[in-house]
Structure 1
Amino acid sequence: MQEQEEKEMVTPGEILGTSSTLKAGKGSYVVPQSDAVFASLTGFRRIINPPHDSVDQRPTVEVIGCKDYGVFPEPGSTVFARITKVMARMASADIICVGRKSVREKFSGVIRQQDVRANEIDKVDMHASFRPGDIIRASVLSLGDARAYYLSTAKNELGVVSAESSAGVSMVPISWTQIQCPVTGQTEERKVAPGWILMEKKQTLG
C-alpha cells in the first residue's frame, strides 16, 4: 500500500471527497444517503492506495489528528511568528512556536489592521507596525481563511520581540513604538512588545 500525505489541514465537517471514489477511514465518515466523505477531526488528510489484488480499488482517506504531528496553534494560544509580508491592511506570518514549543508543520498566520492594537484602530499603519523578518509574539484568534490563522497583537504584552536592521544586527527597543540600530543609530517604528523593552533594560543593567 502507498500513502500520500497532504500538508493541507482539514477541519471537522470538511468534505474530503466522494464515497464513490474514496473509502472513509480513520478520522472520516460518510453521511447516510450522501455521497460525500467528511472529516471528523482537525488534522491532515492522508490517502492510502489499496493493494493491487483488492476487489475494492478505491483509495482510503484518513485524517491524521494534529496531536500526532506535535504542537499546533489553537484559539487562545500564544505563538511566536516571523513576519513574511506586510500590506496596507494586513500582514502575513509563519508561525514558528506555540508557547515555548517549536511547530513541526508549517502554519501560516494573518494579522489584520483591526487586530494590531486595542485603541485607535483606524490609525494603525501596518508598515509602521511590522517589517518582513520581524519575530512577533501574538495571540491566536481563530482559524481564518485559506488555512491561515488570524493572529492578534492587540494586548499590551504582544508585538515585535526581535528585529534586524539593514546593517544585519539586532535592533534595540527604545520605546513602545520605536526600535533603533545600535550600529547606525537609525530608528524605525514598530508595535513593540513591552517584554522586549524590559528584557533589554535588564541586560543593560547587568
Structure 2
Amino acid sequence: MSAPMVCVPGQRLCREEDKLKAGRGTYTRNSFIYSSLAGPLITTKNEDGMTLVEVVRNAEENVVPSVDALVTAKVTNVNPRFCKCAIIRVGKTTLKDSFRGMIRKEDVRATEKDKVEMYKCFRPGDIVIARVISLGDSQSYLLTTAENELGVVIATSEAGASLVPVSWNKMRCPKTLTEEYRKVAKVQPQYIVYSDT
C-alpha cells in the first residue's frame, strides 16, 4: 500500500463532481476542490454513497515551510540549471514527511551568479541549510543559499568520510586529503543542532 499524498494549503486536488465532494480540510472554488491544510489526502465514503475528499492533520504535523523560513534539505538530484532537494526540517522541527525543494543556479550565491557551476556547489546526499524564497511550480519550494550562513553543512567524500570545510567553496576529505568543491555554509552557532545520529 502506497503512502497517502501529502498536500499543502491551496493545492488543487481534483474536480468536484456529483459523487465527489469536499470534506474536512478542503474547500471548493470554481468547481475544483483545494486543500486548506497541510497533511495527507484521504477519501472516505459517507452513508449517501458520496466520496468525501479530505485532508487530515495531526497536531504535530502542521509545520509547513513558509517564505523566509530556514530549512534543512537533502540534495537528491543535481543538473546544470538547478538541484532538487527533499526538505527534512523547518527551523528546529523535523518533518515526518519531506517537502520538495529546488535551488536554481541563480539562487546559489549572491555574487558572480553567471559563473556558478551546480556540480561544484552541491552533490546528491549533501545536507544543506537554505532559505525559502517562494512556493514554486508543481508544489516544489524555491530555495536560496545566497547568504554566507547558507549552503552545504554535511557532505560525504567519495571515500565515504565526512568532508571538513576548508574555505567558502571547498571541503576536504580527512582520509585522502582530496579537496572537493561545494557551496559551503559558514554555520552560525545558533544553527547548530547537536544530535546522536
The alignment's TM-score, normalised by the length of structure 2, stands at 0.85
- Cα contact 1:24–1:37 (8 A) shared by 2: no
- Cα contact 1:136–1:162 (8 A) shared by 2: yes
- Cα contact 1:79–1:96 (8 A) shared by 2: yes
Counterpart position of 1:49: 45
CA distance in 1, matches of 2:75, 2:35: 32
CA distance in 1, matches of 2:26, 2:129: 34
Aligned-residue CA RMSD in angstroms?
2.5
Counterpart position of 1:39: 34
SS where residue 72 of structure 1 aligns? coil
- The one-letter code sitting in structure 2 at the alignment partner of 1:12 is G
- Please list, as runs of the form range in 1=range in 2, the aligned pairs for 1:114-153 lying within 5 A after superposition: 114-153=106-145
- Cα contact 1:29–1:39 (8 A) shared by 2: yes
- 1:88 correspondence with 2:107: no
Larger Rg: 1
Unaligned ranges ≥5, structure 2: 192-197
Moved more, 9-18 or 132-141: 9-18
Moved more, 148-157 or 61-70: 61-70
Bigger share in helix: 1
Moved over 4 A (4+): 65-68
CA distance in 2, matches of 1:195, 1:13: 34
- 1:164 correspondence with 2:156: yes
- Give the direction of change, closer, same or farther, for the CA distance of 1:77–1:110 in structure 2 (3 Å limit): same
* Aligned residue-pair number: 188
The alignment's TM-score, normalised by the length of structure 1, stands at 0.81
SS where residue 108 of structure 1 aligns? strand
CA distance in 2, matches of 1:30, 1:72: 22
- Give the direction of change, closer, same or farther, for the CA distance of 1:180–1:68 in structure 2 (3 Å limit): closer
- Give the direction of change, closer, same or farther, for the CA distance of 1:118–1:70 in structure 2 (3 Å limit): same
Q: CA deviation at 1:13?
A: 6.8
Give the alignment partner of residue 173 of structure 1, picking from 165, 169, 184.
Answer: 165
SS where residue 111 of structure 2 aligns? coil
- Output one character per residue of 1:96-148: Cα deviation in whole Å (capped at 9) or x when no partner: 11112110112111100011011111111000000111111000111112221
Q: CA deviation at 1:29?
A: 3.2
- The one-letter code sitting in structure 2 at the alignment partner of 1:167 is A
